[in-house]
Amino acid sequence: MSDTQVYYLAFLVKLLVVFTLAVGLVPILVYAERRVSALMQFRWGPNRVGPFGLLQPFADMVKLLCKEDLVPERASKVLFTIAPALTCIPPFLVMSFIPVAPSFALAGREMKGVVVDSPVGILLLLALSSLTVYGLAIGGWASNSKYSLLGGLRSSAQMISYELAMGISVLAVLCVSGTLNLSEIIYRQTQFFGYDAQSGNWAGWNIFAQPLAFVIFLVAAFAETNRLPFDLPEAESELVGGYHTEYSSMKFSLFFMGEYIGMVGISSVLVVLFLGGWHFPGMNSLGVQPGTLPFTLLGLLVFLAKIGVLLFFFIHVRWTLPRFRYDQLMRIGWKVLLPLALLNVLVTGAVVAGS
């Protein structure tokens, strides 16, 4: 094989690895969610299908595939069908912009640890994460059911409110890192804590330079993925199922896939922006040569470990905190997070511009 063929083959492998990562984490998360919630409530959780119930998500998937695909009589048929796809596709695409590993040399070229190395990565991530709103709003409206409509409206209002705080908290990170490219942002966080010896710029993890932005982004991340304590769009005790009340079979589970991949995506963004990406302290003294395949795999493992911790946090919070009331939710978003985020940007700007 020529060098070019090797390169493209490796690219295909990388594409499939990222795709498998996005799809494969869904059953793992579903299983983890059910087992952790069971643990926290002194129950067993799924433990019958396969060893430790590990095959439960696959059994569920087969069951959902074989269910009847019901479309309500009065629903708008076309919109009803494309809404689940609209919620599910953007989180998938988010994963293609995430640099999950450092790059390595292959066949005389640089193989990057990211599918799409965009120079405006952050803007695309913010745009994609707001596209999810369309799926929920359209799904809620097209069902022609009162609960669905309310759920769809609530979720769109909630998501756009928290997206503001999220976008503005990212601004503060940009003041520190000075680039929109996600790989570049990771390369600027080489140390755990400290300044770059030559340029004098911050070179530690951004969470230490921007703790407030991290907290704002984290809270907004919960709201963006419709997770408790912000799961008002689908508040079971008030709205039956919210925007997916009328959905059945695989359409229903596409909404869930979208939510879970969205969690993976937003955790990855948190890791990239604030937690140093695939860096960890002492990584360079392990004796693995940077720029080689083993180093890339090591970086991938570190990245997975970090999003694993964040995903566990997501699940833990869901089974710990009660749900907010809708007026409280809007108050936190507009009257607390938004002014705090703006203030944070200005203070960061003053410090960076003054130095």
Footprint on residues 56-85 left by another protein (CB under 8 A): 64-75, 81, 84-85
**From the CB of 145, what's the least distance to another protein, in Å?**
4
290 binds another protein per the rule CB under 8 A: no
Min dist. Cβ of residue 51 to another protein (A): 27
Residues 166-225, interacting with another protein (CB under 8 A): 167-168, 171-172, 174-175, 178-181
From the list 334, 328, 345, the residue with the least C-alpha distance to 161 is 334
Per CB under 8 A, 294 contacts another protein: no
Q: What values do phi and psi take at 64, rounded to 5? A: -65, -35
Tell me which stretch binds another protein (CB under 8 A): 186-194, 211-219, 247-255, 299-307.
Answer: 247-255
User: Which residues in 118-137 contact another protein (CB under 8 A)?
Assistant: 118-120, 123
Phi, psi at residue 120, to the nearest 5°? -120, 40
Please state, in angstroms and rounded to a whole number, the distance separating the CA atoms of residues 68 and 47.
27
Report how far apart, in Å, the C-alpha atoms of 142 and of each of 130, 244, 249, 272 are.
Answer: 19, 10, 17, 36
Q: What would you report as the CA-atom Rg of the chain, rounded to the nearest whole angstrom?
A: 21
DSSP string, 42-79: T---S-SSSGGGTTHHHHHHHHHHTS-----TTS-HHH
The terminus-to-terminus CA distance of the chain in angstroms comes to 53
The answer to whether 97 touches 115, Cβ cutoff 8 Å, is: yes
In terms of CB distance, is 213 or 310 closer to another protein? 213
| Count of chain residues binding another protein (CB under 8 A) | 83
Nearest approach in angstroms of CB 326 to another protein is 6
* 149 scored as a contact of another protein (CB under 8 A): yes
**Of 1 and 353, which CB lies nearer to another protein in the complex structure?**
353
Select the residue interacting with another protein from 34, 35, 188, 251 (CB under 8 A).
251
Please report whether residue 47 would count as binding another protein according to CB under 8 A: no
Of 5 and 289, nearer to another protein (C-beta) is 5
Helices (H) and strands (E) in the chain, counts: 13, 2
Identity of the residue, 38 or 342, whose beta carbon is nearer to another protein in the bound complex: 342
Q: Which residues, numbered 298-337, are part of the site for another protein (CB under 8 A)?
A: 326-327, 330-331, 334-335
Cis before 229? omega within 30: yes
